[in-house]
Amino acid sequence: MIGGRLILAALCLMATISAADAAGPRMRVDREIHNYGTVLYGDRVVEKFQFTNSGDEILVIDKVRPDCACTKVEALQREISPGGTGTIVAELDTVGLSQGAKRTNIIVQTNDASRPVVKLTLIAYVQRQVDVTPAFLAQKLRAHTENISFRMKIFNTSDRPVTLQSIDVKGAGVAATLSPSLIVVPPLGEVPFTIEMTLSEDKGRTIYAGNVLLRTDHHREQEMILRYFIQVGETR
């Protein structure tokens, strides 16, 4: 008799918990992490996250936002009836990303009181077929000098030769040239080269900073951006 009462009490408790769990809108996502694996630089890859409203009131998607400019996201449905389903579409754009592992998050805000914020995650390894090292050019000079050099190396993992065609500088007071002026990298090869920088002598200037833009004839890797930072003397 006592055993029967315990079983009945347990069933009532489970029913109460189940009813409480379904009260109001409830967002249930099929998964919260997607790994694209290896993605070639220049590709745009898309993934769809499916979700269900397992509650008993309308689920409202208030906001959907990525934490990286490389990701675009859209909720195809903004209001989902009880038992209904919806889709969030995410697109990762690899243009402008460096080689290596990438992780970006998508924040979804809803009227689900039990979990008002859901974080979806995209993971990928961006594989560049043409890469340059170092990616950050930095020097500290005791005094101003007109010319400085950076020893570089360019890698080509594709099956075709790649030509490094030109260099441009986005930053005041700096000009740059390539040495040698013509750089051809064989398939699956690497070639050393030098970036020669000329600094203008601006009175009182101690910092030169900006970007170096390298252009190639590779159909995916047409532009590569390097950052530079040059300090002259001591800063206060």
pLDDT at residue 129, rounded to an integer:
94
User: 167: part of which helix (H) or strand (E)?
Assistant: strand 162-170
Q: The domain that contains 184 carries what CATH number? A: 2.60.40.10
Last residue of one domain, picked from the residues 127, 151, 178:
127
pLDDT of residue 128 exceeding 70, the answer is yes
**Residue pLDDT, tens place only, 77-125:** 999 999 999 999 999 999 988 889 999 999 999 999 999 999 999 999 9
C-beta separation of 152 from 201 below 8 A: no
DSSP assignment letter at 97: P
Same domain, 195 and 223: yes
* Structural domain count of the chain: 2
Single out the residue in 127, 160, 183 at which a domain terminates. 127
Q: What mean pLDDT value characterizes the chain?
A: 90
Question: Which pTM value belongs to this model?
Answer: 0.74
pLDDT interval class at 4 (50, 70, 90): low
pLDDT tier at 15, thresholds 50, 70, 90? very low
Digit-coded pLDDT (tens) for 35-89: 999 999 999 999 999 999 999 999 999 999 999 999 999 999 999 999 999 999 9
Q: Could you give the CA distance from residue 149 to residue 206 in angstroms, rounded to a whole number?
A: 18
Task: Note down the domain range covering 116.
Answer: 24-127
**Three-state secondary structure call for residue 55:** coil
Tell the residue number behind the tokens 């020669």, with chain if given. Answer: 196
Same domain, 152 and 177: yes
Asked if 147 and 208 count as a contact pair (C-beta separation under 8 A), the reply is no
63 and 96 assigned to the same domain = yes
The conformation of residue 113, written as its DSSP 8-state character, comes to: T
Answer yes or no: is 85 within a domain: yes
pLDDT value of residue 175:
95
Are 205 and 115 in a shared domain?
no
Same domain, yes or no: 155 and 226: yes
In a domain, 9, yes or no: no
Does residue 186 share a domain with residue 163?
yes
Write down the pLDDT at residue 59. 97
Per residue in 165-221, pLDDT (tens digit) is 999 999 999 999 999 999 999 999 999 999 999 999 888 889 999 999 999 999 989
Question: Are 42 and 54 contained in the same domain?
Answer: yes
Q: Place 145 in a pLDDT band, splitting at 50, 70 and 90.
A: confident
pLDDT given at position 46? 97
Retrieve residue 10's tokens: 């347990």
Same domain, 82 and 160: no
Percent of the chain with pLDDT over 70: 89
Q: Are residues 161 and 78 in the same domain?
A: no
Going by C-alpha positions, the residue among 159, 59, 164, 169 that lies closest to residue 108 is 59
Q: Which residue, of 127, 146, 177, is where some domain finishes? A: 127
Rounded Cα–Cα distance for residues 72 and 61 (Å): 16
